[in-house]
Amino acid sequence: MKKKVVILGSTGSIGKTLLTIIKKDKKNFDIILLTARKNYKALLNQAKYFKVKNIIITEHKYYKKAKSSIKSKKINIYNSFEDFDKIFKKKIDYTMSSIIGLDGLYPTMKIIKFTKIIAIANKEAIICGWDLIKKELKKNNTKFLPVDSEHFSIWRIVNFDKLKYIDKIFLTASGGPFLNKSTKQIKDVKISEALKHPNWKMGKKISIDSATMMNKVFEVIETKNIFSTSYKKIFILIQPNSYIHAIIKFKDGTSHLLAHDTTMKIPIFNTLYHDQNKTIKTNELNINKLNNLKIQNIDKILFPVIDILKYIPNKSSLFETVLVTSNDEYVKLFLKKKIKFHEISDNIIKFLKLKEFQKYKRKLPKNIQDIHKLSNYVRLKINSLSI
């Protein structure tokens, strides 16, 4: 029987990688729905190739273009995630949620009741809306699987059933393009330099987050949420060649680490076939990389955003939305050449210290609207400060 699949954000890198995997085993999959925000041409090509009956294009302008460009009655084109109710008559087997940013939170929440398994690659959803997601998962008896390489690695080691035996969790970071630079050297770096990640090919936003190390701050918060642990058990280590993705130290004195090549294909493949004995063709164990791990503690002077973790409350709150949104805005300002690289971190730290936002450390999001309302306010506030 074919596995029924949905991909939210199928024209992005995660979605395209998943489709590449499915392509090699096409006969065993039935893709029920693909979605995109505006890349309707790529979406239509995907739908035609994989014979997908339903697509959603959320930006109205591009939805209209898609409707006028295709006359086929074999593809149903929708404009809203509210149309899930029209598309799904019973639960599908697997959903990949890979829409970027807070825009991915609502469809992630909405799809949970329609799927048996959801793999979430959307950081913002896990950081800002985890409590809401967790309630939906429990309510609908839906299984969650992590996709990000670090959280995938932790999951592969502990599989959610050994959490009480964990002593410490170590997340690894490559150090990005500025690992061996001084604070003086990175003060006036060019955008092109900040985008040159040594190991991974990523979009602009996540490449800058990796260069500042904010990406790792986000992953610490995700780890705390996903694995129901505390910040005091989570540590960041530098591992320059990105071969080791996580290390778990157990209370029995043993430490387990997980290594794989720097490709998201491996985590995605393993969530898709998590309950099957499927094999993926990969490189041989890289002895040279294992002999040159060069693991080291993180330099908080070079990467000051790490100290932001001191301001995050132990319990989930709306304050995480302030963090995520402020980072989004200051990264945008850097990419527009309105601030310097080091000012991304400086400005975020200053913004998080503003008195008016401290109350959100004690407030839980009651619904998605709470998160979006606060996020919109933070954007307006930063834009007014930046004029």
> For residues 378 and 326, is the Cβ–Cβ distance under 8 A?
yes
Residue 49 has pLDDT above 60, yes or no: yes
pLDDT of residue 235: 97
Residue 75 has pLDDT above 70, yes or no: yes
Q: What is the pLDDT of residues 95-106, one digit of tens each?
A: 999 999 999 999
In the chain, pLDDT over 70 holds for what percent of residues?
Answer: 99
DSSP string for residues in 291-326: TT---EE--TTT-GGGGGGGGS-SS--THHHHHHHH
Q: What is the pLDDT of residues 283-302, one digit of tens each?
A: 999 999 999 999 999 999 99
Q: Encoding tokens for residue 367? A: 């619904």
pLDDT of residue 1: 86
Architecture of the domain made up of 317-387: Orthogonal Bundle (1.10)
pLDDT of residue 147: 96
Q: Where are the domains of the chain?
A: 3-146, 148-260+284-307, 317-387
**Residue 355 three-state SS:** helix
Q: What is the mean pLDDT of the chain?
A: 94
DSSP string for residues in 12-55: SHHHHHHHHHHHTTGGGEEEEEEEESS-HHHHHHHHHHHT-SEE
Residue 72 has pLDDT above 80, yes or no: no
Q: For the domain bounded by 3-146, which CATH number is listed?
A: 3.40.50.720
> For residues 322 and 221, is the Cβ–Cβ distance under 8 A?
no
| CA–CA distance, 155 with 260 (Å, rounded to integer) | 14
> For residues 35 and 107, is the Cβ–Cβ distance under 8 A?
yes
| CA–CA distance, 159 with 145 (Å, rounded to integer) | 10
182 versus 230: the higher-pLDDT residue is: 230
Q: Encoding tokens for residue 171? A: 């997340």
Distance from the first to the final alpha carbon of the chain: 58
**Torsion angle of C-alpha atoms 353, 357, 361, 365, degrees rounded to 10:** -150
Q: Count the neighbouring beta carbons within 10 Å of the beta carbon of residue 104.
A: 22
**Residue 71 binned pLDDT confidence (cut-offs 50, 70, 90):** confident
| CA–CA distance, 2 with 115 (Å, rounded to integer) | 15
Q: Encoding tokens for residue 351? A: 């913004």
Q: Among 303, 292, 305, 284, which residue's Cα sits nearest to residue 349?
A: 305
Q: How far is CA 127 from CA 155, 217, 301, in A?
A: 17, 10, 25
How does strand 54-57 pair with strand 76-78? parallel
Beta strands in the chain (DSSP E): 3-8, 29-36, 54-57, 76-78, 94-97, 117-120, 143-146, 166-173, 234-238, 244-250, 255-259, 296-297
pLDDT of residue 162: 86
Q: What is the pLDDT of residues 56-67, one digit of tens each?
A: 999 999 999 999
Residue 387 has pLDDT above 70, yes or no: no
